Amino acid sequence: MIILHHAWKSSASRRVRLCLAEKGLAYEGRVVDMGKLEHHSPEYLKINPNGVIPTLIHDNQPLHESGTICEYIDETWPEPPLRPASSYDRALMRNWIRHIDGLIHNLIIFNWRHHLQKVASQWTDEELAERLKNIPSQERQESWLRVARKPYTDEERDGARRKLVELLDRMEASLEETGWLVGDSYSIADIAAVPFVKRIDEEIAPDEVAAQRRPRVALWWQTIQARPAYAHANIGPFLDA
């Protein structure tokens, strides 16, 4: 049995849903309310010591880190394969995942200014202090503190946007040979990038994903959105209409 603790708009959760959808796997989804900080509760920290989502539970065994979860899914259910055949390409795939994971803070600067900032800015100082205590990572304590009390500035957002656009440049270069980030087919490297490109395209820097600016990224993005698994994974708009 597969259980996925996730949130519809979380980029890391979206990766895992994409992976499960490609495999056609059924699972029980448990939606975590980040605004209520359900992912910092003692029960949740038992299955994910980092206090973040997603967490996959397969046959009672919990697993965190979306990149690791996607690899686990591909090893456990090999068809259709989502990792390249050669060990060198698999290593490159892991480097992509690691690189994109390292950019998450830049996405947080954009994503958290909506719902989470509204919620956190209402907490009293006592409530804030209490909540920060439950967050395992100092980096995320800082993120919550920022949205609660000192929202990210336009300058910080510009810096984050630049970093995310650099990702598109790196992708444009890598897509030249086969149209995929690694090897000659869709892999977990591509899946890792999808939630980032989705947010860049819908809000952060839509012009940068346009065919005139980055034709290979634009084609890659169009091709991925046309996959049946993309629809199945329910990667909806981040911002409510």
Residues near ligand GSH, by CB under 6 A: 10-12, 34, 39, 52-53, 65-67, 101, 104, 140
Closest CA to 108 of 72, 128, 137, 67: 137
Residues 159, 165: Cα–Cα separation, whole Å:
10
State the nearest-atom distance from the C-beta of 180 to ligand GSH, in Å.
21
CB of 57 to ligand GSH, least distance (A): 14
Non-local (6+) Cβ contacts of 171 within 8 A are 181, 193, 197, 214, 216, 217, 220
**Shortest distance (Å) from residue 34 CB to ligand GSH:** 5
Question: Nearest distance from residue 178's CB to ligand GSH, in Å?
Answer: 25
**Radius of gyration of the CA atoms of the chain, in A:** 18
CB of 104 or CB of 205, closer to ligand GSH: 104
Residue 131 vs 157, nearer CB to ligand GSH: 131
Nearest one of 65, 68, 76, 67 to 27, comparing CA atoms? 76
Q: Which is nearer to ligand GSH, 69 or 217 (CB)?
A: 69
**Would you state the structure tokens that stand for residue 190, as one six-digit string?**
């591509």
Q: Which is nearer to ligand GSH, 188 or 218 (CB)?
A: 188
